[in-house]
Amino acid sequence: MKKVFLAGSTGSIGINSLNVIRELKGEFNVAALSINSNTALLQQQVIEFEPETVIINDYQAYQEFKSLGLNCKVLFGEQEMCNAAAAMEYDIFLGAIVGFAGLPAVIEAVKRGKRIALANKETLVAAGEFVKNLCRKNNAEILPVDSEHSAIFQCLVGENKESIEKIILTASGGPFREYSKSMLQSVSVEQALAHPNWKMGSKVTIDSATLMNKGLEVIEAYWLFDVEIKDIDVVIHPQSIIHSMVQYRDGSIKAQLGLPDMKLPIQYALTYPERRQNTFARANFPLIGSLSFFEPDFDKFECLKLAFDALNAGGMSTCILNAANEVAVNKFLTGDIKFVEIPNLIKNALSKIQNGICEDLESIIECDKITRRYVSEMN
């Protein structure tokens, strides 16, 4: 029975991860759970999965949960999260914390040479070169949990890297795919949070609406699969049935298909190289009907272009992009800026903040802090 350290157990990925573990009863044991503040859901998870340790990032929530006297060790804060990742016994670290906050604990698991089931795309966006070098040094493996990267990973099984001609990431297009650029001026937070295909947390959902989510996935794909930037394409596929594709040098294309259900890539990352039987819903192609594809509009969805630009610029540009985006998205969610101002803040940060060399974790963290402070102070 493999032990899983689940970082971010009350978010959508975390909940689906526990659904998978529940489905594959007897194959996995939950060693640790971490959350920000949703202690009501955490209590249910602790009672069912009996983890040895839980880590809570919000201090008030930590105090309240500790007072319940449940049969587990209760720790507080990011540092204790890193300490637990560095010291506990587990086989798989499942990184499901959204944003830059998920990076430090992933680093500790990498240092120990663990399997990393990675849903936290910001780890590779902000620190791709550093993390990949650390993986090589410690013989750690990263298996993608994002549906798009899991699809590519599955399409590459049994193939030679030299045969790859192109990676094709699919995107639903979000709720505003058919909006004109002028219509985006007046969209509300509620409209932006209404994703047509996926149920996700608010930050990821807004990223999907701006197509920044796809931009971050482009950067993640670059580090995961060691391809040239020019060999990564994005195509809009509204049905979200084809999760991504790989085109080979002979013209053949492999695609991985399935319902838009995050349990499938989570299970594959946990059980690879095996495929386990499950009772999850299956795709019914007569009911699906047709599949359609469109070119992304880089003018209307400028965040996608900014991600490509940052990746081409190299250095700390993608760290700046990620930090600026996180702050800008939060400003939109709290009503401080309009939806169309999100790319403006990111563009400003990329042009004003010095693009340094990604030398070590400390320089990455410092770049992230400088960017957040700069964008937070922008009007």
Backbone angles phi, psi at 156, to 5 degrees: -90, -10
Task: Give DSSP secondary structure letters for 71-138.
Answer: SSEEEEHHHHHHHHHHHS--SEEEE---SGGGHHHHHHHHHTT-EEEE--THHHHHHHHHHHHHHHHH
201 — pLDDT class (breaks 50, 70, 90):
confident
pLDDT computed for residue 227 by the predictor:
96
Mean pLDDT, the chain, integer: 96
pLDDT at 321 over 80: yes
Q: Which two tokens stand for residue 378?
A: 């922008």
- The per-residue pLDDT for 358 is 78
Position 124 scores a pLDDT of: 96
Query: Is 200's pLDDT higher than 90?
Result: no
Q: What is the pLDDT of residue 216?
A: 96
Class of domain 2-144: alpha beta
pLDDT at 273 over 90: yes
Give the pLDDT of residue 365. Answer: 94
Distance CA 166, CA 21 (A): 34
Q: Look at residue 99 in the predicted model and tell me its pLDDT.
A: 86
Q: Which of 300, 317, 316, 325 is nearest to 308 (CA)?
A: 317
Task: Give residue-wise pLDDT tens across range 358-375.
Answer: 778 999 999 999 999 999
Alpha carbon 42 to its chain's center: 21
- 3-class secondary-structure state, position 223: helix
CA distance 66 to 47: 14
Average pLDDT over residues 28-40: 97
pLDDT tens-place string over residues 109-152: 999 999 999 999 889 999 999 999 999 999 999 999 999 999 99
Domain chopping of the chain, boundaries: 2-144
Residues with Cβ < 8 Å from 183, sequence gap 6 or more? 176
Predicted pLDDT at 334: 96
CA 302 to chain centre: 20
pLDDT higher than 80, residue 197: no
User: In this model, does residue 379 exceed pLDDT 90?
Assistant: no
**What's the whole-model pTM score?**
0.94
* Rounded Cα distance, 58 and 288, in Å: 43
Query: Region 155-159: what's the mean pLDDT?
Result: 97
Identify the band that residue 65 occupies on the pLDDT scale cut at 50, 70 and 90.
very high
Is the pLDDT at 354 greater than 80? The verdict is: yes
- Confidence check: pLDDT of 199 > 80: no
pLDDT band at 248 (very low <50, low <70, confident <90, very high): very high
Residue 64, pLDDT above cutoff 90: yes
Instruction: Report how far apart, in Å, the C-alpha atoms of 220 and of each of 60, 145, 160 are.
Output: 34, 12, 20
Judged on CB neighbours under 10 Å (0-12, 13-18, 19+), 249 is exposed
